[in-house]
Amino acid sequence: MDRKMIPHLRRVMEEFIKSDSRQIMLQRPTLEKTPAGGFKKAAWNVLPEQTFRLIPYKRRLTDLVRAMASGEIPHIQYVLVGLWNADVQRMDEFELDGAYYRVQGLEPHTAAEEYTDRKVAQLVVLDKAGVDWVQP
């Protein structure tokens, strides 16, 4: 992509996000090493509020699905779209309208901020904060 286009794409993306934006405070877990050599969640860091747009899952974004007799069911129910410099990482969680979400992953091309106009986080819905996924 031509680097001259990035500022223009970022302005368009900012307007797209603003058109149906949500203010979200992500919570990021800190990990503590266990005696067995693994890790467990310890304290949660609450990040400052950021502007995102919550969008239902679309197959074109990823193929993370589970095959069922009735067809394929996505593990990723929603994506969270933020500006190119949004502070979002895998395993961040948040509550929105009584539902709990966890960032399962980021779109691959969002790691190089200088070449992108957005960050897209793939989300899963949780039963409650910090625990199991809701099974579709």
Q: Which two three-digit tokens encode residue 38?
A: 């693994």
Decide if 45 is inside a domain: yes
Q: Is residue 71 included in any domain, yes or no?
A: yes
Classify residue 135: in a domain, yes or no.
Answer: no
Residue 131 tokens, joined? 């625990």
Q: What is the pLDDT of residues 72-90, one digit of tens each?
A: 454 667 889 999 999 999 8
Residues 6+ apart with CB under 8 A from 74: 57, 59, 64, 65, 66, 136
Is the four-CA dihedral 58, 64, 67, 68 of positive or negative sign?
negative
d(CA 26, CA 45): 8
Give the chain's domain count.
1
What CATH number is associated with residue 96? Answer: 2.40.10
Phi and psi torsions of 73, nearest 5°: -115, 125
Q: Once rounded to an integer, what is the mean pLDDT over residues 54-63?
A: 66
**pTM to 2 decimals?**
0.76
Question: Are residues 50 and 28 in contact, defined by beta-carbon separation less than 8 angstroms?
Answer: no
Provide the residue range defining the domain that includes 87. Answer: 3-30+41-126
